[in-house]
Structure 1
Amino acid sequence: MVNTRRNNQGGEDLPPPPPITIEQLMMMQTQLLQQMAQSMQNIGKRNENAPPQLRAIERQLEISQCDDKEKVLYASRLLQGAALDWWDSFRFGYTEANPITWQEFRSAFRSHHEPAGLMKLKKKEFLALKQGSMSVVEYRDKFIQLSRYAPTEVEDDEKRQELFMEGLNDGLQYQLLSHTFASFQQLVDKAFVIENKRHQMEDKKRKF
């Protein structure tokens, strides 16, 4: 049986869209890689020594469905300035018979551009993070940003919720402690709802 879909006007059923061809997929990959290269060039123009944003590169490469060898090839071609100097030194000694894997590239790149001392400082900053004057959304963003420096501390959803809760202001903590949340996102959503309700109540008091 052929699947169909109904048009917006409620008329006759329309046939499903044709499958994506190999040529179309290759074109999509090319466009993604061009966008990625342009973004990296812009970074290089702002600061020649600034290392490329590896996480952004990884996302683009995943979307373009590159294999392990292609990831190393494309990512290395986008390096500029100090990052390119690092690459020229790092790849010395590797051959076609002993190529650099994507995991080796990622680990070495991060180790070079994120020294162990910096990692320790960022981890301490994360573990000491408090909401303070930040909104729930701002606190969440900062929490997620720093959490990558302490992967074992947030390796499961329960630990992530516990640390996030500890950093919230006392009033929010008090209202949330009596609840159990199925996920970290549900905890954040509930904290945001409570915060927003508080702001509404405070606005009413000021008007009166």
Structure 2
Amino acid sequence: MEGLANTWWKPVKRRIDVVGLTWEQFETLFNEQYLPQSYRDEKALEFMSLLQGDMSVREYGAKFNDLSRFAPSLVESEHLRCLKFEKGLNNSVRISLVALRIQNFRDLVAAATRVQQDNMAYHQSKELAGRVLASGRPSASGGPQRSGRKNRN
């Protein structure tokens, strides 16, 4: 430890036996010193209400991982972690994943990312096709254009 951390750590070593200290115990001591309870509570509440919104799946995954440490009981198992992540996904992504019941967090994030990319590619191709049709050029299929009027034959 260096600087302020060392200044904090010296009296801690005198106060408790740090030889058998686990990482979780150290983390608790550290958080009590440097992260006020009000801040930790605020972040736990933010995690509880976290939704993908207009973030990409990757951005949502990063924020999910960052905030999940403030509410470890909500993600204590891989199943709960996946359930919480899936619940916060946008409908356009979640609908494609629900039936798969992916129980591995990394696999779930990867699948959600693929679904989002496929959705974006689909919408871009529809947009492009719409612009081509609006310009009066032949459609991508090469077939005849429809005018919207019914054929009298």
SS at structure 1 position matched to 2:119: helix
Question: Among residues 84, 97, 102, which one is paired with 2:21 in the alignment?
Answer: 102
Matched, 1:87 2:6: no
What residue number does 2:114 align with?
A: 193
Question: Among residues 70, 73, 88, which one is paired with 1:149 in the alignment?
Answer: 70
Q: Which amino acid aligns with 1:101?
A: G
Q: Which amino acid aligns with 2:2?
A: L
Question: Among residues 32, 49, 72, which one is paired with 1:128 in the alignment?
Answer: 49
Of all paired residues, the percent bearing the same amino acid is 29
CA contact (8 A) 2:82 2:103 kept: no
Unaligned runs of 5+ in 1: 1-77
SS at structure 2 position matched to 1:91: helix
Alpha-carbon RMSD across the aligned residues, in angstroms, is: 1.9
SS at structure 2 position matched to 1:149: coil
Give the count of matched residue pairs. Answer: 127
What residue number does 2:146 align with?
A: none
Unaligned runs of 5+ in 2: 130-153
Encode CA deviations 1:5-40: one digit per residue, 9 max, x unaligned: xxxxxxxxxxxxxxxxxxxxxxxxxxxxxxxxxxxx
Segments of 4+ in structure 1 off by > 6 A?
none
Give the TM-score normalised by structure 1.
0.55
Check 1:99–1:140 CA distance in 2 against 1; reply closer, same or farther (3 A cut): closer
What CA distance in whole angstroms lies between the structure 1 residues aligned with 2:102 and 2:14?
A: 50
What residue number does 2:94 align with?
A: 173
SS at structure 2 position matched to 1:134: coil
| Bigger RCO of structures 1 and 2 (CA < 8 A, at least 6 apart) | 2
TM superposition shift of 1:109 = 1.7
Give the TM-score normalised by structure 2.
0.73
SS at structure 2 position matched to 1:177: helix
What CA distance in whole angstroms lies between the structure 2 residues aligned with 1:164 and 1:144?
A: 10
Encode CA deviations 1:38-79: one digit per residue, 9 max, x unaligned: xxxxxxxxxxxxxxxxxxxxxxxxxxxxxxxxxxxxxxxx32
TM superposition shift of 1:165 = 1.1
